[in-house]
Each structure stands twice: as C-alpha cells, then as structure tokens.
Amino acid sequence: MASVSRSTAAAPDTARLLQIMWRAFVGAAMIYGVVPYLVEPGDDPLTPAAHGAMYSAAAGAAVASFITRRWWLNAVAARRAAGAENEARARVKAGAIVTWALSETVSIIGVARAFLGHDPRYSLPFVVVSVLLLYLHRPSTWPLGDASAVP
C-alpha cells in the first residue's frame, strides 16, 4: 500500500520538475535571440541555398517535435493500459524532454544562421517559432495523472 501512496505523491513532483525544465528550455531559446547581437554585423557570405537549407532544417525540427510528441504519448498510453504507471510517468518525462529539445533546436539553427550570415536579425524568426513550439508543448499538455488525460 505504501507504493501506491508514493506513486500518487510522485505526480506533483513530476509536474513541478517538468515545469522547471520547460522554463529552462524557454529561457534558453530566448537567450538564443540575444546572443547573436554580440556579433558585429557584416556582409552575408551565405548563399540563398544555405539560407534555404537552414529554414528547411528548422522546419524539419518543428515537424519532428509534433511527430515525436505523438509517438511518446502513444507509448505512455500503452504503458498505462498495461498498468505500468511508473513506466508511463518516466515516458512522459523522457518524451517531454525530447520534444522540447527538438523545439529548442529551431532557435539554435537561428543562432547558427545569424552567426554565419553576420546579421543578428536572422535569428529572431527562429526564436519566435521556437518559443511558440515550446508553448504548444508546455507541461500542462502532457498527461501526468490518469490514463484518460492522454489525447
């Protein structure tokens, strides 16, 4: 019976942990919007194809964040259906971190584009999209409680 009470008490700890981690991801994405302004602007040596490749890579990371989220949510639902609540909670944590990392990748690509293109403004659209993705994947959208919360 003690393990049941520990299991239910772990849900608020998991929610708090995910909230702290999510805020760190959002903070990092916002810092990536400021860091390129430390670079002195200059001529853009990148070709249009290189700019397109960076946009494509960022779009790929954004799409992958949604695909990854769906995959992890299916894994959580399968674990809960099997009655393995602790494994399901671990998959929620892992899935959230991987999804947030993919969302943050968009802003990292923006920083790379700003540094390589010698223009700090290049990073701003990437940072905005990254923060929007992180908002869409915020902790409150992840199922931390009962199995009925899985979308």
pLDDT exceeds 60 at position 64: yes
pLDDT at 145: 64
Q: Residue 137 contacts by C-beta under 8 Å, 6 or more apart in sequence?
A: 65, 69, 96, 99, 100, 103
Q: Which spans in 36-142 are helix H? A: 48-81, 85-117, 124-136
- pTM of model > 0.85: no
List pLDDT tens digits, range 71-80.
999 988 898 8
Report the chain's terminal Cα–Cα distance, integer Å: 29
List pLDDT tens digits, range 11-60.
668 788 899 999 999 999 999 989 998 877 888 888 889 889 999 999 99
Return the higher-pLDDT residue of 133 and 47. 133
- Nearest-CA neighbor of 62 among 103, 11, 94? 103
